[in-house]
Structure 1
Amino acid sequence: MSQRPLDIGWLRIFEAAGRLGSLTRAAHELGLTQPAVTYQIKRVEEQLGVSLLRRSQGGSRLTDAGEILFQAVQSSVESIDKATHDTRRTSKVPAVRIFTDFGFAAFWLMPRVTDFRRLHPEAEVHIVASQGLEDALERDTDAAMLFGAREDFPDTARLLIPECVVPVCTPGFLERFGPFNDPADFASAPLLHLETTGKSRWLTWATWLAAFGVTRPRAQGDLGLNTYGFIIQAALAEQGLALGWRGLVDHHLDLGSLVAVGPEVTRKDRGYWLVPSPTASSTTSTLLDWLINET
């Protein structure tokens, strides 16, 4: 659908000329020639019997009469543009805005939204991703898909994927540094750490190893990265062992580009939760129901 401003003739031309203080700049903004702008202004001046603009070498200034008319015209143009925008928006299928983190957006949500849009090509879906999730529930979105514990979310939240984590690496990395027959064997290999601010909501290498009674401080060969996409890229580049969240690394495990090299750790009280907006549209509900079925 066209987003061009509504054609309102001399009103828009005069508003641009008065606002910009130049017939040439007004013509450039509106995609017109300078003589065409001059002609329209002269027509209005002839009808009113007064000069609206005082031409000079440096541009055009509003006369006292022009200033009075400009105030009314500018307010009218702004109101018409807003009404045009609102009218066009109500005629469209509502866009669905989903907020989540970068890793979940890239590895779980995007492929499924692509499949959904093949079935519903009329749907418009916006994915808003960020690592800073502290204000996620306050954002202007139709739904959020966030990682945390049950108590972090309202009663309407639904668990999509429980946290289930397994160490992963490439077959080449396993050949160079493996085998990893015991969690203690990971202590001698470089590890990839997901950097977070404050207390981590996810399992870390320290908490994963602690589940098996292993203590290992960060070592010189380790690598820290601030998004999960970078972690997976580094793992594929054989820079270290990564913690792989089920649901996010399944595609790479299916392809064999990554292999699971250790036992899984599951925390059923934590994972990715779907938090819908109380005012979700029917299009949003259709998408969310479809995503729930996909899990």
Structure 2
Amino acid sequence: MTRRLPPLNALRAFEAAARCGNFTRAAQELFVTQGAVSRHIATLEDWLSVKLFERGRHGIRLTPGGESYFASMRVALDQIEHGTRQLQQSPDEWLLRIKLPPTFAIRWLIPRLARFHAMYPRIDVQITTSHKPADFERDDIDVSIHSEPSPPVGQGYRLLFRETLLPVCAPALLQREPPLAQPADLAHQALLSSLNRPHDWQAWLEAAGVQGVDTRRGLKFENAAMAYQAAAEGLGVMVGVLAFVRDDLASGRLVAPFDLRVPTEGGYFMAWRADRPVAQRVRDFESWIAAEAAASES
């Protein structure tokens, strides 16, 4: 059976004009003149014998028939676009490139990554670690994960979890002298911290109402993952992020000498480009990591 279809160029012009609400913007998007768009719309209206737009002094507006046709046409064009992308997928279409801080990678993501690979065996993962925020214009990445006080601007994003601070140390440290019975006793302990998080100790101590503890002293590391390792080896007390020490607390490798847990304004956000269609590999990763984050917080 022969399909009875209107001119495809006219359909593209109609879809762009209806979506943009303006012949000029539609012309810019299609790289043609405004006159060409207007002629395509007129051709389509003649072919359909239906008026699609109301033309007025203040611009164009879809007629009821135009609105109905636009709704069905947009679905059809979306399906064609999706099928075309699926056909054109290259091996790189299944390469997921992630940029994130080293501590998040080591302490949280990598221990869970086998579960992602089991669910999505076609997706290969490439991890780059950095404390610098992602620049999607320059970085060759699909996804970034970083600690932010508020959602990233101009990007698609999902909040994974908020930060909660608490001191942690090796169990053996509690058996040594000097004692570590109350927060003020931290004045006599080696304080461990990350150079990238210089204010965490002060934030926790202020919430605990403790004064006289010099947070400038102690052992400072390039990243928090090294400080967590130092804490596990008994070098001192680390002010940690709860999400990164849950497993160690559950296993007894680390202990929390005090009950006080201090929420911060920060949170870990997953972000991706908002100015282009979201690749399926990114959608799959977002779905998976959101479920993992929810499970880890429960």
User: Which range, TM-score by smaller chain?
Assistant: 0.5 to 0.7
How many Å separate the matches in 2 of 1:98 and 1:145? 8
- Which aligned pairs between 1:176-195 and structure 2 lie closer than 5 A? 176-177=176-177, 179-195=179-195
Counterpart position of 1:126:
126
Is the 2:151–2:157 contact (alpha carbons within 8 Å) kept by the matching residues of 1? no
Report the TM-score when normalising by structure 1: 0.62
Is the 1:167–1:243 contact (alpha carbons within 8 Å) kept by the matching residues of 2? yes
Counterpart position of 1:272:
268
| Gap regions ≥5 residues in structure 1 | 1-87
Q: Which moved more, 1:115-124 or 1:147-156?
A: 147-156
Any idea what SS the aligned residue of 2:115 has? helix
How many Å separate the matches in 1 of 2:214 and 2:130? 28
Counterpart position of 1:226:
222
Counterpart position of 2:145:
145
Counterpart position of 1:15:
none
Counterpart position of 1:168:
168
Is the 2:133–2:146 contact (alpha carbons within 8 Å) kept by the matching residues of 1? no
Query: For residue 184 of structure 1, what is the amino acid of its counterpart?
Result: A
**Distance of aligned partners of 1:265 and 1:187 in 2 relative to their CA distance in 1, 3 Å threshold:** same
**Distance of aligned partners of 1:188 and 1:282 in 2 relative to their CA distance in 1, 3 Å threshold:** same
Is the 2:102–2:223 contact (alpha carbons within 8 Å) kept by the matching residues of 1? yes
How many Å separate the matches in 1 of 2:283 and 2:208? 41
How many Å separate the matches in 1 of 2:219 and 2:179? 21
Any idea what SS the aligned residue of 1:157 has? strand
Is the 2:151–2:159 contact (alpha carbons within 8 Å) kept by the matching residues of 1? no
Query: For residue 237 of structure 1, what is the amino acid of its counterpart?
Result: E
1:252-275 Cα distance to aligned partner (Å, 9 max, x none): 1111010111211112x3111111
How many Å separate the matches in 1 of 2:135 and 2:230? 28
Counterpart position of 1:37:
none
Query: For residue 160 of structure 2, what is the amino acid of its counterpart?
Result: L
Counterpart position of 2:286:
288
Is the 2:167–2:256 contact (alpha carbons within 8 Å) kept by the matching residues of 1? yes
Counterpart position of 1:213:
209
| Gap regions ≥5 residues in structure 2 | 1-87, 294-298
How many Å separate the matches in 2 of 1:163 and 1:137? 25
How far the C-alpha of 1:180 sits from its partner, in A, is 3.5
Is the 1:94–1:281 contact (alpha carbons within 8 Å) kept by the matching residues of 2? no
Say if 2:237 is the partner of 1:241: yes
Match of 2:249 among 245, 249, 253: 253
- Which aligned pairs between 1:41-56 and structure 2 lie closer than 5 A? none
**Distance of aligned partners of 1:151 and 1:291 in 2 relative to their CA distance in 1, 3 Å threshold:** closer
How far the C-alpha of 1:157 sits from its partner, in A, is 2.3
Aligned length: 202
Could you list the structure 1 runs, at least 4 aligned residues long, displaced by more than 6 angstroms after superposition: none
How far the C-alpha of 1:136 sits from its partner, in A, is 4.5
How many Å separate the matches in 2 of 1:189 and 1:146? 30
Q: Give the root-mean-square deviation of aligned CA atoms.
A: 2.5
Is the 1:160–1:273 contact (alpha carbons within 8 Å) kept by the matching residues of 2? yes
How many Å separate the matches in 2 of 1:177 and 1:277? 52
Any idea what SS the aligned residue of 1:217 has? coil
Any idea what SS the aligned residue of 1:140 has? coil
Query: For residue 238 of structure 1, what is the amino acid of its counterpart?
Result: G
How many Å separate the matches in 1 of 2:151 and 2:288? 25
Is the 1:170–1:257 contact (alpha carbons within 8 Å) kept by the matching residues of 2? yes
How many Å separate the matches in 2 of 1:213 and 1:261? 16
